Amino acid sequence: MKLEVTKAVVPVAGLGTRFLPATKVIPKEMLTVVDRPTIQYIVEEVVASGIKEIVLVTASGKSAIEDHFDYSFELETFLAQKGKLDLLREVRHISRLIDVVSVRQKEPLGLGHAVKVTEPVVGDQPFVVVLGDDLVESEVPCVYQMLQVFGRFEESVVAVQRVPAEETHRYGIVEGEEVAEGVFKVTRLIEKPAPGTTDSNLAIIGRYVLHPHIYSCLSRTLPGVGGEIQLTDALEIMRRERGLYAYVFQGNRYDAGDKFGYLQATVNFALDHPELGARFREYLKELLNDG
């Protein structure tokens, strides 16, 4: 029987401490990149990949995210009365994009724990996990690319990108054998390896397609790095018990939960924006020539 993927889990329950003070009140997933909040890019990627059910893992102080995808009767009525039909269309488009179910993570016990709390909603079917602050700019949506790999190998897939050797200690790193172009069968997973402990530069980023066996793996995962339940540790159990693939996706990824990554995302998305891109490119040229 073919395993169908219909749900995407989007964890947004983290505290966003790297982006303080901006994130004291506003969730980092609601920070704007050019003209829309980060989380909207994530949801648009998921929808463009053919998935319409989103399970948000939220926490207190994050209700703005749910509200962003909800109907806003007052705002829609106001825009309709004023004849601002373009804006009305835009606002309606967001609220009709997806069906959202929210699950609360009562304490930020780690990404693995955030995924674990979705078990009652997701149940016994494979699902996608997309981190709420990890943006990928690509021609073919990254989640769609991964679903093709999952469809072919029928086991869990993590998205990876090649990073410089001096940066591997900041990521979960996989080692593996290449079994198809850009697809590796994972032989080892190392969370934030100390320099010199691996030759691999394949770093895990925030996109996963997971077999439901991950819930069993998570229930046997003890707190790891930072005292948190790490998804990477559960993936190591998955690798041993079922197998795991890593896929070097096509596209550029930005960690929008980090101040520098957020700036990179803003500049690159602005340069590619259909209305603002050309003007912004000219502006940057002038700025750099003046400098």
Binding site for ligand UTP (CB under 6 A): 11-19, 57, 105, 108-111, 113-114, 131-133, 257
Q: Which is nearer to ligand UTP, 207 or 211 (CB)?
A: 207
Burial-class residue 20 by CB neighbours within 10 Å (0-12, 13-18, 19+): exposed
Nearer to ligand UTP, 72 or 264 (CB): 264
Q: How far is the CB of 95 from ligand UTP (least distance, A)?
A: 22
- Please report how close the Cβ of residue 206 comes to ligand UTP at its closest, in angstroms: 7
The length of the chain in residues reads 291
Task: Specify the residue, 22 or 179, whose C-beta has the smaller distance to ligand UTP.
Answer: 22
CB of 180: closest distance to ligand UTP in angstroms?
A: 28
Do residues 205 and 254 touch, judged by C-beta distance below 8 A? no
Nearer to ligand UTP, 60 or 81 (CB): 60
Pick 72 or 161: Cβ nearer ligand UTP: 161
| Residue 282: CB minimum distance to ligand UTP, A | 34
Cβ 190 to ligand UTP, closest distance in Å? 18
Closer Cβ to ligand UTP, 101 or 109, answer by number: 109
Least Å distance, CB 107 to ligand UTP, is 7
